[in-house]
């Protein structure tokens, strides 16, 4: 009898456990499908805790979807700042964001006596919600003792709410926020210079006016500058969608480069940089260039290294100028992979520049090419031939700075800092590739990656007909290399991989032929014309 009772108890308990298991299984398999269900099935008390941070438009960095009825209005408002203003205005100024850091970053311990920073934010007709969400995210996610102040530099905005209303609003914030007004439209470069001279912190952190800082963004930046005050540091720039304001983590596996046209571009972090860090992705990445919108620099070092080139107008090229200068003059530039800051990337600029965007950027790029790039400026000039007609003003002060700081040549930078550069450190020729029989030239036809290279009447104007036969025996045009993957196959343009293989060509000066080594077939009956830039 006792035995029977005992069995009944055992049976009953196992039944309970089976039921619990079934319940758990059902619960979790359903919850994987959608977040809403998960919320509904949670205990009310738990739900209340979560709702405070996870409900509301855009909380936890979620996308905001505008209802159908409002979409016309949304499109109208989009034009004001070239991002979804309606979505931005719906999101709390202090919205919550996910912690997107690598696991190894979350447990790092930083010293107590890190340098503090002034945050400088330049704005021009910025939206209220994006500007103040930037400010609130800085205040809420920075340890108070590391944040000296926030400086908002108004580059002659016209919008009314950016005047008194803004001044009254920031007065009540728990961190000193100062507003500096430029008398007239001066552009990012001069406005940042003005902001920088007014700072009091040990470090200057420049941010764009539509950013959101995530948890733990500041400590690793300050820690790296404390270790080496000549290191200029950038966070990983996460993407805030311009359509939905969804927060998407950026990659720690890309770093900054540039192409022959001197456009800043992201490229994969090369294996040598992974090896140097022994595969530890939480260590800072040495980057050849920076995007320029977001970085921190020791305030005194900013002065020593020559701030910005104040002869540059408005915006554009200043990020490469600073990158080259930092590396060539003894500093270093890094992406601190434990620091994440989001930025609203736009497809078009909402601003008009005096003199036109193209002209301003060409002028700035000429200044940086003339001062820093030595003979390698030819790559820039030959691929954008019209640019040599653009006046770039007087650069003697910047050249004197280069001499005074005993800066290294651009070839040193290419060799030591950016060996995987799109501009080849060593090359046999730079110019057109002409077919002697047909008198036609190899032409990239303005096509993109993965498309075929073409032939066209030689026009002698550079641009699409500029190719370089490099010391690695690749034929490249800007950041693309001629690539043949099968016998008699088409010649396509792919990202240069520096591994020879399908991108290896032998030139025979006697017969004027290019032999594609792997397929053992000739590119074309062609002669490499040594134009004036050869």
Ligand X SMILES: *[C@@H]1O[C@H](CO)[C@@H](O)[C@H](O)[C@H]1NC(C)=O
Binding site for ligand X (CB under 6 A): 52-53, 92, 94, 96, 116, 145, 148, 201-202
The reply to whether 443 sits near Mn ion by the rule CB under 5 A is no
Structure-block tokens of residue 354: 């005096």
CB of 142 to ligand X, least distance (A): 10
From the list ligand X, Mn ion, none, pick the one residue 438 interacts with, judged by a Cβ distance below 5 to 8 Å according to partner type.
none
Which residue stretch of 208-216, 232-240, 327-335, 458-466 sits at the interface with Mn ion (rule: CB under 5 A)?
A: 208-216
432 binds, among Mn ion, ligand X, none (CB under 5 to 8 A by kind): none
Angle at 89 between CA 88 and CA 91, to 5 degrees: 70
Q: Which region, judged by CB under 5 A, interacts with Mn ion, from 200-208, 311-319, 458-466, 525-533?
A: 200-208
219 binds Mn ion (CB under 5 A): no
Q: Which does 145 bind (CB under 5 to 8 A by kind): ligand X, Mn ion, none?
A: ligand X
CB of 51 to Mn ion, least distance (A): 32
Nearer to ligand X, 143 or 454 (CB): 143
Q: How many CB atoms lie within 10 A of CB 115?
A: 18
In angstroms, the CA 7 to CA 37 distance is 39
Toward ligand X, which CB reaches closer, 143 or 460?
143
Read off the tokens for 26. 């059902």
**Minimal CB distance to Mn ion: which residue?**
208
The distance of closest approach from Cβ of residue 99 to ligand X in the complex, given in angstroms and rounded to an integer, is: 13
The crossing angle, in degrees rounded to 10, of helices 318-328 and 357-372 is: 10
The answer to whether 212 contacts Mn ion (rule: CB under 5 A) is no
Task: Identify the three-state secondary structure at position 525.
Answer: strand
Q: Hey, what are 41's tokens?
A: 């099935």
Q: What angle do CA 379, 324, 309 make, to 5 degrees?
A: 100
| Whether the Cβ atoms of residue 265 and residue 257 lie closer than 8 Å to each other | yes
Taking the complex as a whole, how short is the minimal distance between the CB of residue 96 and ligand X, in angstroms? 4
Contacts of 51 (CB under 8 A, 6+ apart): 39
> In whole angstroms, how close is the CB of 162 to ligand X at the nearest point?
22
Q: Which stretch binds Mn ion (CB under 5 A): 206-214, 234-242, 257-265, 507-515?
A: 206-214
Binding residues for Mn ion, total number by CB under 5 A: 1
Q: Which of 136, 495 has the CB closer to ligand X? A: 136
Can you give 266-334 as a three-state secondary structure string?
Answer: EEECCHHHHHHCCCCCCCCEECCECCCCCEEEEHHHHHHCCCCCCCCCCCCCHHHHHHHHHHHCCCEEE
> Per rule CB under 5 A, is residue 318 in the interface with Mn ion?
no
| C-alpha radius of gyration, the chain, whole number | 28
CA distance 48 to 490: 61
CB of 128 to Mn ion, least distance (A): 16
**208 is in the binding site of which of Mn ion, ligand X, none (Cβ under 5 to 8 A by kind)?**
Mn ion
Q: Please count the other Cβ atoms lying within 10 Å of the Cβ belonging to residue 478.
A: 21
Given Mn ion, ligand X, none, residue 187, with its beta carbon under 5 to 8 Å by kind, binds none
Tell me if 155 contacts Mn ion by CB under 5 A. Answer: no
Instruction: Give the angle 28-33-37 at the CA atoms, nearest 5°.
Output: 75
* 378 binding Mn ion? (CB under 5 A): no
Q: Which of 87, 401 has the CB closer to ligand X?
A: 87
When CB distances are held under 5 to 8 angstroms depending on the partner's kind, the choice from ligand X, Mn ion, none that residue 411 binds is none
Query: CB of residue 265 vs ligand X: minimum separation in angstroms?
Result: 35
Give yes or no for residue 252 binding Mn ion (CB under 5 A): no
Report d(CA 256, CA 268) in Å as an integer. 9
Per DSSP, the three-state class of 351 is coil
Q: For the CB of residue 361, give the shortest distance to Mn ion in the complex, in Å.
A: 15
Q: Tell the smallest beta-carbon distance from residue 249 to Mn ion (Å).
A: 18
CB of 322 or CB of 458, closer to Mn ion:
322
Residue 468: both structure tokens together: 């370089």
Nearest to 232 by CA among 293, 155, 290, 169: 290
Q: Which of ligand X, Mn ion, none interacts with 148 (beta carbon under 5 to 8 A by kind)?
A: ligand X
In angstroms, give the least distance from the CB of 293 to Mn ion: 5
Question: Under the criterion CB under 5 A, does residue 479 sit at the interface with Mn ion?
Answer: no
Residues found in the chain? 534
Task: Choose between 152 and 482: whose C-beta lies nearer to Mn ion.
Answer: 152
52 vs 106, beta carbon nearer ligand X: 52
Q: Which is nearer to ligand X, 148 or 208 (CB)?
A: 148
Nearest to 452 by CA among 423, 494, 415, 418: 494
Applying CB under 5 A, does 478 fall inside the site for Mn ion?
no
Minimum CB distance to ligand X, residue 20 (Å): 34
Cβ-based nearer residue to ligand X, 52 or 165: 52
CB atoms within 10 A of CB 18: 10
In angstroms, how far apart are the furthest CA atoms of the chain? 108
Which two three-digit tokens encode residue 224? 């790296």
Compare residues 209 and 269 and give the one whose CB is closer to Mn ion.
209
208 binds Mn ion (CB under 5 A): yes
Indicate the DSSP class of residue 115.
P
Give the helix/strand (H/E) hosting 170. Answer: helix 164-171
Binding residues for Mn ion, rule: CB under 5 A, are: 208
């Amino acid at each position: 009898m006792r035995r029977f009772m005992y069995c009944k108890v055992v049976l009953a308990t196992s039944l309970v456990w089976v039921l619990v298991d079934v319940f758990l299984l059902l619960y979790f398999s359903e919850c994987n499908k959608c977040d809403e269900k998960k919320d509904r099935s949670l205990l009310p008390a738990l739900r209340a805790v979560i709702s405070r941070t996870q409900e509301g438009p855009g909380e936890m960095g979620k996308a905001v979807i505008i209802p159908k009825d409002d979409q016309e209005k949304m499109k109208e408002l989009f034009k004001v700042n070239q991002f979804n203003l309606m979505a931005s205005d719906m999101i709390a100024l202090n919205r919550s964001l996910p912690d997107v850091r690598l696991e190894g970053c979350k447990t790092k311990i930083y010293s107590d006596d890190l340098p503090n920073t002034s945050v400088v934010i330049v704005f021009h007709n910025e939206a209220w919600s994006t500007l103040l969400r930037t400010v609130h995210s800085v205040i809420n996610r920075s340890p108070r003792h590391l944040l000296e102040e926030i400086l908002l530099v108004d580059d002659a905005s016209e919008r009314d709410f950016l005047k008194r209303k803004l001044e009254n609003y920031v007065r009540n914030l728990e961190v000193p926020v100062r507003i500096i007004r430029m008398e007239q439209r001066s552009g990012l470069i001069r406005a940042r210079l003005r902001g920088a001279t007014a700072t009091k912190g040990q470090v200057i952190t420049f941010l764009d006016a539509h950013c959101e800082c995530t948890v733990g963004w500041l400590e690793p930046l300050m820690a790296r500058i404390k270790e080496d005050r000549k290191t200029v540091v950038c966070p990983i720039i996460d993407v805030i969608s311009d359509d939905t304001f969804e927060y998407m983590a950026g990659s720690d596996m890309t770093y900054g480069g540039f192409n022959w046209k001197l456009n800043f571009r992201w490229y994969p972090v090369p294996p040598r940089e992974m090896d140097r860090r022994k595969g530890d992705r939480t260590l800072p990445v040495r980057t050849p260039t920076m995007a320029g919108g977001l970085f921190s620099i020791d305030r005194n070092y900013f002065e020593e290294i020559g701030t910005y080139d104040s002869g540059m107008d408005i915006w554009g090229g200043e990020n490469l100028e600073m990158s080259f200068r930092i590396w060539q003059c003894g500093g270093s530039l890094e992406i601190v992979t434990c620091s994440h800051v989001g930025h609203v990337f736009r497809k078009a600029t909402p601003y008009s520049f005096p003199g036109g965007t193209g002209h301003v950027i060409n002028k700035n790029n000429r200044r940086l090419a003339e001062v820093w790039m030595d003979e390698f400026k030819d790559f820039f000039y030959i691929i954008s031939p019209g640019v040599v007609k653009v006046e770039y003003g007087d650069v003697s002060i910047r050249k004197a700075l280069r001499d005074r700081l005993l800066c290294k040549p651009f070839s040193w930078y290419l060799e030591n800092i950016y060996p995987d550069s799109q501009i080849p450190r060593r090359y046999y020729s730079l110019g057109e590739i002409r077919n002697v029989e047909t008198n036609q030239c190899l032409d990239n036809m303005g096509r993109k990656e993965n498309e075929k290279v073409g032939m066209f009447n030689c026009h002698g104007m550079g641009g699409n007909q500029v190719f370089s036969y490099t010391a690695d025996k690749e034929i490249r045009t800007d950041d693309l290399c001629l690539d043949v993957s099968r016998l008699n196959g088409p010649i396509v343009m792919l990202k240069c991989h520096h591994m020879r293989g399908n991108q290896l060509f032998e030139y025979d000066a006697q017969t004027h032929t290019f032999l594609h080594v792997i397929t053992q077939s000739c590119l074309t009956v062609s002669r490499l014309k040594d134009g004036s830039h050869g």
